[in-house]
Amino acid sequence: MSETPTTADPVRQERKTRKTKTSTISILFSVFVFILFVVLTHGFMTALPIYKEAILAEFHKTQTYMSFMEKTKKPEPVIVAPVIPPPDPEITIVKDYIKLRNTKMPSEVSQIIAEIAVKNAKEHNIATPLIVGVMEVESTFNPSALADIPKKPGEYARGLMQIYQAEEIDIDKEQAFDIKYNVSTGCRIINKKLEITNGDLSQALSNYSGNRGGYTQDVMLAVGRFTLYKWEVEHPQLPPKEKIEIKDKVEVSMLVKGAYKYGQE
């Protein structure tokens, strides 16, 4: 009795065919991937020495360039902070004394006056206490002071040191109230008077004031006041009781005798 084919045989056969095709494709793909891997690996291994040489060449170029730049670059400028000299202690003493004797004086102005007074003392070889004493008596440290009474007809003394037109020195009236000009001119006049009187400070001061009675004594007292103040400031370490005892023993007349040469030796 012969077997009759069933309807399931074609379906089974088709599935078997598909499976075979899939296996073949997988094998072919694997072979392709393997061949591709071999080719790429061979190419990479072949090109590696070339790439290595190129990379090393670039590295050497970079090193050479950096070495060149290190040798040729300019050194960075060294920034040195400006050295600010400490303030002159004598200027500070003069400034504080001016504020003590003229309480209305602005600190900025007293600082300027003090600096100019100390500077001119050195330039004109006149003791700072003498310049301070003349300024105190003449104007109470007022740069804008103008005399009420003329030194001579039409000639009014002006400024800190009350300068006026004298036979020895020509005065620029337009600059007479300028602090620098006034103090410098006043010092020049004092030196001229000392020259005329052969160094007689008392007579020179009298001539400076136009022979005003008691002027020399007033200036000497002012010089003594400042000198004692300066001495006190310069000896802060002394106990107050000892300061008083020493000051009581010091005669102002002994201090002012050498006022012109004070501090200049």
pLDDT in tens, 145-158: 998 877 677 778 89
- The stretch 194-211 carries a mean pLDDT of 89
pLDDT at residue 154, rounded to an integer = 73
pLDDT: is 241 or 88 the higher one? 88
Contact of 216 with 206, CB cutoff 8 Å: yes
Residue 237 CA to residue 113 CA, distance in Å, equals: 28
pLDDT at residue 111, rounded to an integer = 95
Token pair 């094998």: residue: 27
pLDDT: is 246 or 145 the higher one? 145
pLDDT: is 52 or 224 the higher one? 224
- The stretch 131-149 carries a mean pLDDT of 92
Q: Tell how far CA 11 is from the center of its chain.
A: 104
To the nearest 5 percent, what fractions of the chain are helix, strand and coil?
A: 65, 0, 35
- Residue 196: other Cβ atoms inside 10 A: 14
Q: 3-state class of 163 per DSSP?
A: strand
Sign of the C-alpha dihedral computed for residues 218, 220, 226 and 229 taken in this order: negative
pLDDT at residue 263, rounded to an integer = 39
pLDDT: is 24 or 101 the higher one? 101
Structure tokens that stand for 128 in this block: 């700072």
Residue 255: which pLDDT band, with cuts at 50, 70 and 90? very low
pLDDT at residue 117, rounded to an integer = 97
The amino acid that residue 220 corresponds to is M
pLDDT at residue 247, rounded to an integer = 59
Structure tokens that stand for 178 in this block: 């300028």
Token pair 């023993």: residue: 249
